[in-house]
Amino acid sequence: MSPQLDYIVRYAENREIFLLNYGDDFRAFDTISERMTESWERLGKERDAGGASHAGLLAFANILSRHAILGFQHVASYQSYVGWFVFRPGLEALLLIGKFVDDVANATVWRNRNKEWRKYQDTFSGKKLISKSLPRAQKFQEVLTRLNDNYMHPNPDFTYRDMTIQDEGSTLLVKIEFFDKRAEIHEAHVLAFLNLFDLIRQSSNSLISSILGPPAREPQPCPVYVKVNKERARSLAGRNALARKILEELGLWEDLD
């Protein structure tokens, strides 16, 4: 079988295996995504107290939603490293929304990026992406930085993380893996991705309420992911130091001791 066909077959198999092993997590992603979409949709239907529309933010909310779905599909195929760099633009889109809400002039800086790139860098680079309007913006920006460092460039951490070496006597095989090899590490990525996504949902709800006021109708309930899975995450963190690092640094899990 060719390498490409082997990859396609294993990808399809992994999707089925994930649904068997992580059915509750798959459903949790759907619920979080649906509740978050319902919140963002308010921007297309309502105006703020001054009568102004904020529908322009929906373009960035859609990027967030799209890349969350695309990223999770890779996590659900045991390709966690792909899931994170695919999700990265969605996380940055969320941080941009916060900056636009801080000051509408920042939208003009964003639009003129190619003409005034130094001003763009001064406004949106690094910690400048931390907004006052978006709850947890600092924590989200820290995750974005980690994704940039660990999942976007072939530095030593990137290179060796998914490498296996097989010594077959006269032959040394060096392989870059396409799929997660260690069950505990993959589970850590699942828990990290979903908890981060649920925190984004909560922060999005707060941001939208700060713009439009509380919703007219009580939103449908959404179980808080950290509450449902706290003991599971603690157990995993206690068994594996690398899993703990993933949970804390990418998933923003706290109090795992």
What would the mean pLDDT of 68-93 be, rounded to a whole number?
97
- Nearest partner of 254 among 144, 146, 150, 139, judged by Cα: 139
How far, in Å, CA of 147 to CA of 249, rounded? 10
Beta bridge partners of 172: 167
How far, in Å, CA of 40 to CA of 255, rounded? 30
Reported as a pLDDT band with limits 50, 70 and 90, residue 222 is confident
pLDDT at 116 over 80: yes
Name the percent of the chain lying above pLDDT 70: 100
Q: Which two three-digit tokens encode residue 83? A: 């899931």
| Through-space distance between the first and last CA atoms of the chain, rounded to whole angstroms | 46
Q: What is the pTM of this model?
A: 0.94
How far, in Å, CA of 167 to CA of 175, rounded? 11
In this prediction, residue 201 carries a pLDDT of 97
DSSP 172-237: EEEEE-SS---HHHHHHHHHHHHHHHHHHHHHHHHHHHHHH-S-SSPPPP---HHHHHHHHHHHHH
pLDDT at 80 over 80: yes
Name the percent of the chain lying above pLDDT 90: 83
- Reported as a single tens digit per residue, the pLDDT across 164-209 is 887 777 788 888 888 998 999 999 999 999 999 999 999 999 999 9
In this prediction, residue 219 carries a pLDDT of 76
What would the mean pLDDT of 148-168 be, rounded to a whole number?
84
pLDDT at 1 over 80: no
DSSP 252: -
In this prediction, residue 112 carries a pLDDT of 94
Q: Where are the beta strands (DSSP E) in 66-203?
A: 163-168, 171-176
Of 8-12, 15-19, 67-71, 156-160, the range with the lowest mean pLDDT is 156-160
Of 12-26, 112-126, 217-231, the range with the lowest mean pLDDT is 217-231
Cβ within 8 Å of residue 66, ≥6 positions away: 90
Q: Are 47 and 213 in contact (CB under 8 A)?
A: no
What would the mean pLDDT of 29-53 be, rounded to a whole number?
95
In the block, which residue shows the tokens 């828990």?
191
Of 59-68, 90-99, 117-126, the range with the lowest mean pLDDT is 117-126
